[in-house]
Amino acid sequence: MSTFNSRKMKLPLLLFFIWYVSSSNAQRIAMVDIEGHRDSFIERFETKLGFQRIEDENKHAVLRGQLNGESADLIVYETPLTHRVYKVEVRFDAFKKWKKAKAYFLNKETSLKKKYGEPAVVIEFFEKPYCDGGGNEFEAIIKGKGKYYRDWGDMPYIQNLFLQYWIGGDQHVYLSFTLKDELMKFEEEQKLTENSLF
């Protein structure tokens, strides 16, 4: 009888542990979870943060709103069959001048380092005839002759996240959150959709 009661008591503890581990793996933007079906993700950002869906780009839903007082777009990537969110890119407002984009990028990087630690990959380069401060940095990035990029790689203390950060040739600063488990689902579903074409 005592064995039965101890098993009965262990079940709620086990269920709580499973719930805690799964909920602690959820990543957040402005305290809103990045998880689940595209529609529920969009609804959470609309109701909790006042984002509005705008015109889709390249088959990705785009939401526009404010994050910590800054205008930003959220570009939502989803799996092709189950429509689960596997990646969200935050696109901050564009800068006309490279100097301002770079200053903004470096300032925000400081905040990211406080939260996630040092990035595993740091890339900053411009190939001739381009240079940092030369006036055509965005053009260099578009042409693949320059790059300002950070990648936090595998973060052992945050098991389910790839975090990347860069300045785009379109004059925007981007921050990308990719959920590792959902990325694997995306890759599996992508193979299924490719195989179904033949």
Using alpha carbons only, what angle is made at residue 180 by residues 122 and 31, rounded to the nearest 5 degrees?
A: 85
Q: What is the pLDDT of residue 196?
A: 64
| pLDDT at residue 140, as a whole number | 98
**pLDDT for res 87:** 95
pLDDT computed for residue 130 by the predictor: 97
Question: What confidence score (pLDDT) does residue 14 get?
Answer: 35
pTM: 0.82
What parts of the chain have a pLDDT lower than 50? 1, 7, 9-25
Model pLDDT, residue 135: 93
pLDDT score for 13: 39
Where do the domains of the chain lie?
2-196
| pLDDT at res. 114 | 93
pLDDT in tens, 112-168: 999 899 999 999 999 999 999 999 999 999 999 999 999 998 776 677 889 999 999
**pLDDT value of residue 18:** 35
